[in-house]
Structure 1
Amino acid sequence: MSRWRYFGRRLLLSVPILIFGMTITFIVLRMGPMDPVGAILGPTGNPQAYQQIKNQLGLNQPLWAQYIDYMTNMLTFNLGKSWVLFPDRTANSLIIEYAPRTIWLGFWSVLIAIFVGIPLGFYAGLNPNSWSDYFASFGGIVWRAMPNFWLAIIFLSVLSNSENVLFGFDWQNWLVHTTVIGVPFNDPQELTNPQGLLAAIKKIAPAAIVLGSASMGNEMRIGRTAVLETVNSNFIETARAKGVPPRSLVWKHIFRNALIPLVPIITGEAFLLIGGSVLVESVLDISGLGQLFFNAIMAGDLPLVGSLMFIFILLVVTINIVQDILYTLIDPRVGYDGGA
């Protein structure tokens, strides 16, 4: 089977998963406690107005008709309009407006997890039972154990009072003037100049550290175990016996094989990033998709919640496909057959 056929097969297999996720979302939204009509009217609404708005929104239609409309609209990316939070604004325009901040947050969160967690794990695996190994392992366990929302609150408290807590260090005026609670970058063009880029990085840094901390600890722990297993494998002993130089042994044999079990861990962090961004963005007041999703749930904005859930499900399915492709690129032994 060629790589393109393998990719096409993975795409076809993802369709029923996407439909199943959207169906569960529809059931939860329609049969859950959310009442968009009540949220629109408020506590002073009368029964006649309630029924009139319900008819206008199509909530009196049979459930099967609502389901068909929902699936058709989502699959054609006709995400509808917000009913409560931003009346008459389309969900597409809101996602386009809020997505760059979440992407910026996710980018730095993934970078912190990969470029801190994996090197520490590999270093600990190459130096087992040393003080550096104990220190890295203990630090990874501590970071992994701390809940995102708790760590976000601690960061917020410390940085808001940095001059008193950090012995005179003024976080808000360090390098560039920013506020701890504020909007990340609103305009991507701000990233084109050094001052704007530095300000955007500084604004997102606390949230990125919080969101990437759990992933960093997890990747460090798995990376250490993968290196230890690879170092003690038979093919490494054979390579040593053949006189392969230590540097080549580490970079071409140990690291590459140790990356294989890390592929599902790295791609699986997307689940944590999606769920964690809702909490972290809400606590640190970052106007991204996570905060938008949280506010939409609290307001009972049915179409906006459904649209964001569709985007999240689509993202997770896409990442799973990327994971399968990465397996074949990192490890040539993985084939494209059905049992691969």
Structure 2
Amino acid sequence: MFRFILRRTLQAVVTFAALTAILFAWLRSLPGGPLDALLGENAGPQDRAKLVESLGLDESLWTQYLRYLGRFWTGDLGVSTGVWRGAPVTEVILTRAPATIELALCALIIGAVLGIAAGYWAATRRGTFDVAFLGFSVLGLAVPVFFTGFVLKYVFAVRAGWLPPSGRADLSGSIPTPTGLTLLDSLLAGSGAAFTESLRFLTLPTIALAIIPFAVIFRLTRASVAETLQQDFIRTANSKGLRNPTIAGRHVLRNSLLPVITVIGLQAGGLFAGAVLTETVFNYRGLGQSMALAFSTRDYAVLQALIMLAAVLYLVINIVVDIAYALCDPRVRTP
């Protein structure tokens, strides 16, 4: 098992190095560049020369890349020039990260729990509501997340007026916020009013972000459970007179959820991409909205840090998923 973990970790390190090198070169090939973002397009040659020297942009690209990697692992990610002008990028990330973490966790939990439950239910009751669930899952995969967000806003916020159309609950003046996660802070403070207010602001963006993970997990769970139900060991368990809950938990789900574990991990890593559109639609102050703003303002320091952070998160999640998969199925550990 140790060799398996070591092999996966080394693969992740190589992947991260290649990805960051490509990202570093790509950002510096974009029109304008960090000089225009910091000085503006009308800055004089002397100002540009001083900034080039102070930022080390007169050195080779390879030297700049190695220096940036050294600063990245120490937490020095540069200074924001557009998202939060003049603030360290680390401060921008630490301030906005709790909102995205809370949104992504809620969307993943809802998508995984409902997707597995609905997938199992549909596979064991073919021909009833199975077609309706399949149609909804196809619709969830086909419709872009930003369009889903606009529809949810129009129906439940504008027309019905049940939920706020945008923003995030601000609890800083009412209860302590040690974690920055509004739902958790509300529970820690024992404030039902704060929890309800947090839930109202979180509901629509969570639903919009959870639809695609739900659709993917549902379809895979349904197919995997349907295939497992046709296996000989399931018929043997039925012939022995085992109870249905025992067969479902010990035999069907245990063997069906192996591929689902991998998909849940991939969906967790991909939620950050969906959060960019979701947070922009709902004006939800998180890392996704910061990335969209960094694109529009050419804030290369924030943009580079967020993409690299997303890459690290994605690789870590994949390592965890691989380990979980190997624990469930020892055959995966073999080279």
Deviations 1:155-193 (A, max 9, x none): 22333423xxx3xxx314xxxxxx422234564344532
Q: Residue 225 of structure 2 contacts residue 256 of structure 2 at CA under 8 Å; is this kept in 1?
A: yes
CA apart distance, 1:5: 4.1
2:281 aligned residue: 283
CA distance in 2, matches of 1:147, 1:284: 15
TM-score (norm 1): 0.88
Out of 138, 155, 158, the residue aligned to residue 141 of structure 1 is 138
Deviations 1:203-236 (A, max 9, x none): 1111111111011111111111011100001221
Q: Residue 84 of structure 1 contacts residue 299 of structure 1 at CA under 8 Å; is this kept in 2?
A: yes
For residue 20 of structure 1, give the secondary structure of its aligned residue in structure 2: helix
For residue 156 of structure 1, give the secondary structure of its aligned residue in structure 2: helix
Going from structure 1 to structure 2, the CA distance change for 1:212 and 1:244 (only over 3 Å counts) comes to same
TM-score (norm 2): 0.89
CA apart distance, 1:332: 4.2
For residue 181 of structure 1, give the secondary structure of its aligned residue in structure 2: coil
2:167 aligned residue: 182
1:125 aligned residue: 123
1:176 aligned residue: none
CA apart distance, 1:86: 2.7
CA distance in 2, matches of 1:29, 1:213: 32
Deviates more, 1:271-280 or 1:152-161: 152-161
1:337 aligned residue: 334
1:100 aligned residue: 98
Gaps of 5+ in 1: 173-178
Quick one: which amino acid aligns to residue 162 of structure 2?
A: W
CA distance in 2, matches of 1:245, 1:322: 33
For the pair 1:200 / 2:191, whether they are aligned, the reply is: no
CA apart distance, 1:258: 1.1
CA distance in 1, matches of 2:330, 2:59: 54
Quick one: which amino acid aligns to residue 25 of structure 1?
A: L
* C-alpha RMSD over aligned residues: 2.0
For residue 260 of structure 1, give the secondary structure of its aligned residue in structure 2: helix
For residue 195 of structure 1, give the secondary structure of its aligned residue in structure 2: helix
2:309 aligned residue: 311
Gaps of 5+ in 2: 172-176
CA distance in 1, matches of 2:127, 2:149: 32
For residue 121 of structure 2, give the secondary structure of its aligned residue in structure 1: helix
CA distance in 2, matches of 1:144, 1:161: 25
Q: Residue 327 of structure 1 contacts residue 334 of structure 1 at CA under 8 Å; is this kept in 2?
A: no
Matches within 5 A, 1:80-95: 80-95=78-93
CA distance in 2, matches of 1:333, 1:123: 28
1:257 aligned residue: 255
CA apart distance, 1:292: 0.8
Q: Residue 101 of structure 1 contacts residue 184 of structure 1 at CA under 8 Å; is this kept in 2?
A: no
For the pair 1:171 / 2:171, whether they are aligned, the reply is: no
For the pair 1:154 / 2:154, whether they are aligned, the reply is: no
